[in-house]
Structure 1
Amino acid sequence: VIGSGLGGLSCAALLAKEGLDVLVLEQHYEAGGCAHNFCYGLDGKPVSRARVQKEDLEAWHFEAGPSLYSGLSQERSPNPLKHVFQMIGEEPTWVTYANDDATAWGAFVPEAPDGYRMPTGAAGFEEVLERCGGPTAKEDWRRLSEALLPLAEGVMGLPSVAIRNDPGALITLVGRYVGPISQILSTGRAGRLAKPFSELMDEVNVTDDFLRNWMDLLCFLLQGMNSEGTLTAVMAYMIDDFYRGPGTLDFPIGGSGGIVDALTRGITKHGGSLQLSTPVKEILVENGRAVGVKAGANGKLTIRARKAVVSNADVWTTSKLVPRGAHQGFDEETDKLWAGDVKQCKSFMHVHVGIDEKFVPDDAPPQWTIVDRWDEDGIDVAGNVIVVSMASKLDPGLAPRGKHVIHAYTAGNEPWSVWEGLDPKSPEYKELKDERAECLWRAIEKVIPDARKHAEISMVGSPQTHAFYNGRDRGTYGPAIRAGKDTYPSQVTPLPGLYRCGDSTNPGIGVPPVAASGAIAAFSLLSIPAHWRNLDLVKM
C-alpha cells in the first residue's frame, strides 16, 4: 500500500485482518497522510510521535489536517470510518462535545460578525436560522428537511463499505441491503442522490439567502465545492447526522493521530507492517501487470507484491509512478487526467500555534469557523473560509501542562499559482507566507486577542508545505468532481494489479469517504464470503 492516509490504512487493516501479508510504505516520518499529527518538544525542535509516546515526553501535538468528526462515538452509526473500526476491532477513545454552550461550535459569519455559539442538533440550527436568516428561513428549512428525510433514512441504512468493484456488489450491497434500497426508491427522488444538492434546494423552493449560503458552506467544508458541485447523497448523510437529532461532534483522544494509531494497530496485530520515511519512486510493471514498487530515497529498494499494489497517493501522483509505455490503457487514462479531465480543488494555508492557557479566554470554544463574506465569486475565494481548532480544549494531553495548541487553516481555498516556482528557502517565500497567513491570525484573534504576541511557538504552512509533507500534487485538497457532471475515479485502474484509494477515488473527499474508499479497495481484493463476514460486524 503506497501511502498511509486514512484510506490506505483502512485498506491495509482490512486486508491484514483477512490474512494477507501487508506492507504500508509512507514517505513521511509520521503516519496518517493529510491526517497526521506532528510534535515539537519544549525546546522548540521537532520530535517524533513515537519518541514522545515511548518516553512520555511533554510536547506540542499539532494536527496537520481534519479536526471535525461526527458519527463516531455512538455504537450504531452510518460513518464508514466507524464501520472500519468495528470490522478491525480497534478504535480511539472518543470525547463528545458541541451539545452544550461550553463546547458549542463557534461561528463568525457576515450576518453575525461578532460571532455566536451553535450547538449541534435540530434545536441549535433553528436558533441560528432565527438569528441570521430571513423571514422564510425556518419554513425553507422545514421543506428541505422533509424532502431529505426519506432519502436520508435510506442512505443511513446503506453502508458504503458494502460496495465492491465487481459483480459481487449485487450480493454484498443490493442483496444484503434490500430494505434501505427499497426505501430510497420509494421516495420517487432516488435519482436526486447523484445530482447536485442545489437542484434539490431549487425543487423545494429554498429562497432564503442565509440558508442557501450556509448549505454552500457545509458543502465546501465537506468536499471542497459549493452545493452545485456536491452530491445530494453526501448532504443527506451529513444533515441527518449533524442537524436532525440532538447532535454531537466527536473528537479522538490523541487527535487525528489517535485515529491513525488505531488503524495502525489493526494492521500490525495481524502481522502487517508500516514503514515510515520510505518514499515510493516507481510502480513495477511486468507483462502488463503491477507487480511491486521501487522505494527508498534512491529508489533502489525493490519490493514485490504477490497480489496487488494499492496506491493511496492522489491520482496525479500515482500516474507519475507508472512508467510511460508500461500499459496502454493506463497511459490513456493518464493523458486524460493531465489534459484536465479531472480538475483540482485548491490548497491550504496553515498556522500552528502553542500558547499559555492564561491568554485563552475560559469560554473559548474548541472549534470555530469564520466566513468573511458570501462572495458572488464563490465560497472558495482565497482566505474567505477559515477553520480554527483548539484540540487541547478537548484533549489536554495534546499540549504541555498549562498550554494550548491551535490549528487554523484556510479551507481548501488557497491557489497553487501564487506559490508555484518559489524557492522555499528564499526571503520572498517567507514574506509571502507571512502575508497569506494574516487572515489566519485574524481568525484566531477573533477568540484569543493578541494570540500572535503571546505565542510560544508558531509555524506557517503553505501549499508547498502541504505538497512536500503530504505528497499532494500542487498541494491540492483533492479532485474537483462536480455532482451530476463527473464521477470520481474507481478503485480499480486500467493496469491489472494496481488499485487505488483515498480522496481521489469514489466516494470522494472527507474523512468518511476516504475510509469507505479504503474498504472498497480492500473488499475488491477479497472474496465475497470474507466481505460478508466483515459486514456482519457493522452496526447501522
Structure 2
Amino acid sequence: MQGDQSRYDAIVVGSGIGGLVSGGYLAADGRRVLVLEQHDVAGGNAHVFRRRRKYEFDVGTHYLGDCGPDGLIPAILSGLGVRDRVRFRPMDNAGGFDRIMTPTATVDVPAGWEPYRHRLKQAVPEEADRIDRFIDLAVAVATASRAGLLGEPMVELFRKSPQTMRWSRRTLGQALDHCGLSAKGRTLVAAQAGNYGAMPDGIGFAEHVNIMDHYLRGAYYPEGGGQALVAALVEALEAYGGELRTRCAVRRILIDGGRATGVELADGQRISAPLVISNADYRRTVLDLCGGAAAFPADLVARTRDAVMRSAVVAVYVALDTELPGLPNANIWWHDSDDMEGAHAAVQERYERDGTMESVPQLAFSFASIKDAGSPAVCPPGHSNFQIMTGCPPGYAFWGLEGGPVDGEPYRRNPAYLARKRQLTETILDTAEKVLGPFRDRITHVETATPLTNERYIRASGGTPYGMATWGGAGQRPDVRTGIEGLYVVGQNVRYGSGVGGVATGGVAAASQILGRPLLAEVYAGTVLGDASRLPERAPDWDPLAVSRGQARQRAKGLARIG
C-alpha cells in the first residue's frame, strides 16, 4: 500500500455545499484543507449537467430562500468573501413563488407569513380560524428556531416559551391534527412536501416551518444555476490555500485510538490529517467508510443500519424548442386530489398489492428558463428548460433490481429497469400535459433520472436527496460532531436539515465547532473571514463547471460545453 507523507490540517470527504462551506471556512482561518470528490465535478446535489451543447440542467437547485439583504445564505457567502460573486434572481415573491394546484383550489404562495396566511384563508375560508391557529403556531416555532440558530441558548428559549419549544419536537401531522384542519386544508398547507420528501406524519413540525420560513423570506434562483454557487465556494477554498481533487474516491476514513487520523483513497494512498469532515452519506460514513462497529458504539451502528430514508425521487428533464406561455415565475406543486395524504397512501397500497404505479398523485415543476431567463447556458432564446419531479416507492425491487450502483449492480442496461423507467417517464409526461397543456411535439431533449442515478453520482442511501427520515426515532438526526475525536459530519442527514440552506448552515456549524466560535452569528452580524483580494479574476469565458473540477483538472478532457 502506497504511503503519502503529505499532511493536511483537515480533509473533507465529498464536495456538496456542506463540505465546501465547512472546508472554505477552515481554509479562510488559515488551515490547510483538502476536499476529495469521487465525481467529475464538485457540488453534490447542486451540480449541473449539459446536453446537446444547448441545455444545462440543475440537478437539485430549484430555488433558494432567504437571499435578501439580511439573508442567511448571503451572510454565509459574505463570511467567505464571495457574496458579490453570486447573484440571486428573485422569483415572483409578491404574486407567488410557488403555485399549489389541487382539483378545487389554486394558491399562489407569496413572501411573508401574513400574505401567506391571507392566501390560505382565501382558499379555504370555512377554515379561517384553523388556518390562524396553524400560522400562529408556525410563526412562533420559526421565530424561536431562528433565534437559536443565531446563538440564543436553547435553555433561554425554553424559559421564554416552553409551549412553543415543545411543538418543535412534534410532527407536522400532529400540528395539523391539533389545529383541526380538513384533508383539503392539510393538503394546501403541506403541498410543498417535495422540499423535504415526507408526508406530514414523517416530518418534524419545526423542520416544515423552518423550510417554509426560509422561502417566505423571499424565494430566489442563483444566476447561472446551482453550479455558479458551487464555483464561488470552490474559488474561496482554493484562494485561501485549500485544494479540491475531483475524480478522487475515498475508500476509508482512518481511525486510530478513537480519533480520526486521515483517509485512504481508492488507489490505496493514505493522506493524514487530525480532522476529517465527512460530507458523504451518513449511513455510508458510519457503516462503510468508518467500519461500523469497529469505530462506533453498537447502538449507534444499529440505529444507523435501521435508519429509514426519506422519499426517493424521479426527475424528468425536458427541453422544448418553444416557450411555455402564461406561466408565472414560480414552481408548480400539482396534486390530483384535495387529500394529498390519502392519494399518497392509495398509490403505496396499490404498489404493495400488485407492484404497479400506473398513476402519479403529485408532480412538482421547476422552470429554469423562466427563473434564469436569458441565461445562455440554460437554453437558446425561444426554448424552454424545465424539470418534472415525483416520488416513487423505496428500494431496488421497484426497479427490478437486487442491488444498486454502489454494490456494483450493472443496472443501466437491465431490461426490467429500462422498462420501468420508460413506463414511469411516459406516465409523468402524460400527467404533466394535463397541467401545462400539450408540449410533447416540441420536445428537443428528454431524459429521466431515477434514485439509481442519484445513488450513482452522489452515493446517497436509497437514492434520496433528502437524507434520513428516522434515525432511532421520528425527526432524530445526528449533530455535526460525532463521538470520534476529530471526525465531523455534514450534509443532508444532519440535524440542520436538507436543501441548500440547511446543508450550508450545517457546514458553518461544523466549522464553528472546530474553531470554537459562533460563526453563523458572527457572519450574520458582518464578520468576514475570507480576504476577497485573494480571489481569482474571472475571464470572459469563465465557466463554473470547469472551476468546479478543481484547479488541477480545469482543462482536463471530457468537459461538456454550451455553444
TM-score computed with the length of structure 2 as normaliser: 0.78
5+ unaligned residues in a row in structure 1: which ranges?
43-58, 163-172
Question: How far did residue 483 of structure 1 move?
Answer: 11
2:238 to 260, 268, 280: 268
1:190 — aligned with what?
165
Question: How far did residue 409 of structure 1 move?
Answer: 1.6
Q: Distance in 1 between matches of 2:232 and 2:218?
A: 22
1:376 to 339, 342, 359: 342
- 1:27 equivalent in alignment to 2:4: no
Q: Distance in 2 between matches of 1:153 and 1:533?
A: 19
Change (3 A) 1:11 1:138: same
- 1:385 equivalent in alignment to 2:365: no
Q: Distance in 1 between matches of 2:252 and 2:423?
A: 37
Task: Work out the number of aligned pairs and report it.
Answer: 489
Q: Distance in 1 between matches of 2:527 and 2:188?
A: 32
Moved more, 19-28 or 492-501: 492-501
Question: How far did residue 530 of structure 1 move?
Answer: 7.0
Kept after mapping to 2: 8 A contact 1:195/1:483: no
In the TM superposition, 1:449-528 aligns within 5 A as 449-476=437-464, 477-481=466-470, 485-528=474-517
1:211 to 164, 167, 185: 185
1:318 — aligned with what?
285
Q: Distance in 2 between matches of 1:332 and 1:146?
A: 39
Q: Distance in 1 between matches of 2:462 and 2:213?
A: 34
1:12 — aligned with what?
23
In the TM superposition, 1:25-424 aligns within 5 A as 25-42=36-53, 59-72=54-67, 74-77=68-71, 79=72, 81-91=73-83, 92-101=86-95, 104-112=97-105, 117-121=108-112, 122-123=114-115, 126-131=118-123, 133=124, 135-159=125-149, 162=151, 173-174=152-153, 181-182=156-157, 185-186=160-161, 188-203=163-178, 205-218=179-192, 220-242=193-215, 248-295=218-265, 298-305=266-273, 307-322=274-289, 324=291, 327-329=294-296, 333-338=300-305, 340=306, 342-358=307-323, 360-363=324-327, 365-373=329-337, 374-376=340-342, 378=344, 381=348, 383-395=360-372, 396-397=374-375, 398-411=378-391, 415-419=395-399, 420-421=401-402, 423-424=411-412
5+ unaligned residues in a row in structure 2: which ranges?
1-11, 349-356, 403-409, 529-563
2:5 — aligned with what?
none
Counterpart residue identity of residue 289, structure 2:
V
Kept after mapping to 2: 8 A contact 1:193/1:233: yes
Counterpart residue identity of residue 94, structure 1:
F
Kept after mapping to 1: 8 A contact 2:310/2:467: yes
Aligned with 1:329: secondary structure? coil
Q: Distance in 2 between matches of 1:400 and 1:393?
A: 12
Change (3 A) 1:278 1:471: same
Counterpart residue identity of residue 93, structure 2:
N
Counterpart residue identity of residue 67, structure 1:
H
Question: How far did residue 252 of structure 1 move?
Answer: 0.7
Q: Distance in 2 between matches of 1:95 and 1:532?
A: 25
Aligned with 2:69: secondary structure? coil
Change (3 A) 1:384 1:26: farther
Percent sequence identity is 24
Aligned with 2:90: secondary structure? strand
Change (3 A) 1:538 1:146: farther
Aligned with 1:488: secondary structure? coil
Change (3 A) 1:524 1:320: same
Kept after mapping to 2: 8 A contact 1:267/1:273: yes
Q: Distance in 2 between matches of 1:147 and 1:189?
A: 7
Change (3 A) 1:6 1:189: same
Kept after mapping to 2: 8 A contact 1:151/1:187: no
Q: Distance in 1 between matches of 2:437 and 2:136?
A: 42
1:166 — aligned with what?
none
Counterpart residue identity of residue 333, structure 1:
L
Q: Distance in 1 between matches of 2:329 and 2:292?
A: 54
Kept after mapping to 1: 8 A contact 2:64/2:501: no
Question: How far did residue 151 of structure 1 move?
Answer: 3.5
Q: Distance in 2 between matches of 1:443 and 1:535?
A: 43
Aligned with 1:357: secondary structure? coil
Moved more, 181-190 or 151-160: 181-190
Change (3 A) 1:3 1:485: same
Deviations 1:8-54 (A, max 9, x none): 11111111111111111111112111121111243xxxxxxxxxxxx
Aligned with 1:194: secondary structure? coil
Aligned with 2:237: secondary structure? helix
Kept after mapping to 2: 8 A contact 1:36/1:260: yes
Aligned with 1:502: secondary structure? coil
Change (3 A) 1:290 1:12: same
Moved more, 510-519 or 27-36: 510-519
Aligned with 2:468: secondary structure? coil
Counterpart residue identity of residue 285, structure 2:
T
